[in-house]
Amino acid sequence: MNKLLTMNKLLTTSAAALIAVCGTAGAWAQSINESELSDPRVRQAIAYAIDMETIAETLFEGAAIPAVGLTSDPANYPKGMNTYSYNPERARELLAEAGWDGSRTLDMVYYYPDQLTADFMAVVQAQLADVGIDMTYRLLEGDVGAQITGRPDDPVNGPSVVEWDMLYGARAAIANQEYFNRFAEGQMPMIPTVEEMLPLVEQVNGTVDPAVQRAGYQQMEGIINENVYILPLYYQQLYIFESDRISRNGAPYGNEQYSYNSDVINWTVEPNEDGERVAYTNAAPMQFFELPWQNLGIWVHSRYAFDTILEADGSLTPIGGELAESYEVSEDGLTLSFTMKEGLKWHDGSDLTAEDVVWSIETAALAPIVQPLVATTIGSIEGADAYKAGEADSISGISVDGRTVTLTFATIDPNMLMSFAQFAPLPKAYLEGVDPLQIQQHEFWQKPVGSGPFMIEEARMNEFTTLVPFPDYHRGVAKIDRIIALPSADGDANLIRNAAAFRADFGYTKNATDVPALEEMEHMNVTAVNIPYTRMFWINQFPRE
């Protein structure tokens, strides 16, 4: 009997040791600087300590998908990715191995002011406490950006430029590279340079070959997963709601935060008692119409009043031209040319020309707030640097021949098609001569003139915006007579009330707590859409002063 017990113990110990070795393979359990959090075993322990499956099912009511990698596409994962399934025992073992003595209290910060986030923090605090890690949490107030960014002088030993141990935040990306690009040397305020990531970041950015990119993503996901440089928590979904009055007539659902072909001109809505086909939505402006280069699709005007040069499908994959009738990429991937459709018009009836497109690209190069992916693409055009530095009057890599615009890139930009599928040109006639730094402050944004299927009829800031079909739209006239948009930003606090009062026929929400309320309404339908939006913990691996 004793022998059996001893055997059992031996086996258990060996198995535990084996698991421990496998679990830390590659990292070999060392701090790389004075911070305990630079020890991968401590970070792995944090990963094992959090029961994300249960949290997703209970706290988030199923409206969260527990994450494995930074990207949600399993094709980007190498074989054997550790899912870090809830295992408090393993967490305690790893902490013991790392010499964690429990004397340090981790300072967790977050920037979402909602109750759900605060509740999530409380759960994480309890689960970490269960394995012996004390944690306090606080909402970042004031200048959030300054508190989460910065670059340590020494990219390995720090000291840290941020004053927290863990940050709960998100990465919303339209291109996979966006998840990894900050691993380029010295660009992370919380992660010491990871040498093996540097060539991989270059690899995925230096090719348009999806297979080469994929291989790079797999390696990077593997490295991050093994060392828990970042701890991905869950993938957030987006929920498209529609009332039973409206029909998309088979048009696809997609990532509503960006521009994609939702075929809005063929949507129909039941006529009201006056026989008018009116659809209500939200996302109207509160003080001004936001430049459609910043948040590419969240506002009603960005989606329906402005067309983009190229077009993407619901997953944001470029599928062809929107304002452009055709496009062509050179074999070396350094030249993109697109030919604009003939007879394009702005909402005021004037011609939309290639000149408008060129002016828009050059203005976006200097505008302060442009979606990072689009900014990167424009910044990669030959001569963009000199233009931005004020050393040239125009971007030398842009040329025009009739309706054809040719862009020559200084370096390969793997996402150039995706960028131009999100980029909406603006009418030069209204904005020419404006300081690009202050383009958003121009009065044009009180009632902008666009090129999309709907044009702005009336804009009463903070009250409503009405949009009516653009009669000269290049794809035909929309079937809905009028869209009435009520003002709201992302995370509409009035959504449920408006939906209950039949004042929300279509729209989307990312707020998981809205979903059950919407689903309870007999006249509302909710469709969940997977989007690249990963909630994660950034762990500060630099020593704090």
Partner 1 sequence: MLTYFARRLLTLIPMVIVISFLIYLGLELTPGDAVSHMVPPDALSMMDEERLQALRESLGLGKPFIVRYWIWITGVMQGEFGYSLAGGVPISKIFLDRLPATLELSFAALLISTVLGSILGTISALTRGSLTDQSLTVVGMLGVSIPEFFFGLVAILVFALNLNWFPVGGRILPGYDSFWDRLPHLVMPAMVLSIMMTAGVMRYARSSMLDALSRDFIRTARSKGMPEWRVNILHGFRVALTPVIVLIGFRLPVLIGGSVIIEQVFQWPGIGKEFVSAVRSQDYPLVMMVALFSVLAVLIASLIVDLLTAIIDPRVRLGE
Q: Strand, helix or coil at 507? A: strand
Residue 296 or 416 having the CB closest to partner 1: 296
Residue 289 or 470 having the CB closest to partner 1: 289
Smallest gap from Cβ 140 to partner 1, in A, equals 8
Smallest gap from Cβ 9 to partner 1, in A, equals 49
Helix axes 88-98 and 40-49, enclosed angle (nearest 10): 160
Which residues does 413 contact at the CB level (< 8 Å), separation at least 6? Answer: 205, 376, 377, 380, 419
Smallest gap from Cβ 101 to partner 1, in A, equals 32
Residue 356 or 492 having the CB closest to partner 1: 492
Smallest gap from Cβ 148 to partner 1, in A, equals 6
Smallest gap from Cβ 142 to partner 1, in A, equals 3
Smallest gap from Cβ 48 to partner 1, in A, equals 27
Rounded CA-CA distance 475/455 in Å is 14
Q: Provide the pairing of β-strand 278-284 with 482-487.
A: parallel
Residue 109 or 223 having the CB closest to partner 1: 109
Smallest gap from Cβ 288 to partner 1, in A, equals 3
Residue 445 or 506 having the CB closest to partner 1: 445
- Site residues, partner 1 (CB under 8 A): 111, 141-146, 148-149, 169-172, 178, 182, 286-288, 295, 368-369, 371-372, 435, 437-438, 440-443, 445-446, 458, 460-464, 466, 482, 484, 486-487, 493-494, 497-498, 500-501, 503
Residue 162 or 405 having the CB closest to partner 1: 162
- Each residue of 2-36: b (16+ CB within 10 Å) or e? eeeeeeeeeeeeeeeeeebeebbeebebebbbebb
Residue 128 or 496 having the CB closest to partner 1: 496
Smallest gap from Cβ 130 to partner 1, in A, equals 30
63 secondary structure, DSSP code: -
Dihedral angle over CA of 466, 469, 472, 474, nearest 10: 110
Which residues does 305 contact at the CB level (< 8 Å), separation at least 6? Answer: 347, 448, 450, 451, 452, 454, 455, 456, 467
| Lookup: tokens for 42 | 């401590």
Smallest gap from Cβ 145 to partner 1, in A, equals 4
| Lookup: tokens for 294 | 């910043």
438 secondary structure, DSSP code: G
Residue 77 or 288 having the CB closest to partner 1: 288
Residue 145 or 210 having the CB closest to partner 1: 145
Cα 489 vs. chain centroid, distance in angstroms?
A: 16
Rounded CA-CA distance 62/55 in Å is 9
Residue 141 or 393 having the CB closest to partner 1: 141
Smallest gap from Cβ 434 to partner 1, in A, equals 10
Burial of 350 by CB count in 10 Å (0-12 exposed, 13-18 middle, 19+ buried)? middle
- Each residue of 220-248: b (16+ CB within 10 Å) or e? bbbbbbbbbbbbbbbbbbbbbbbbebbeb
Rounded CA-CA distance 255/314 in Å is 6
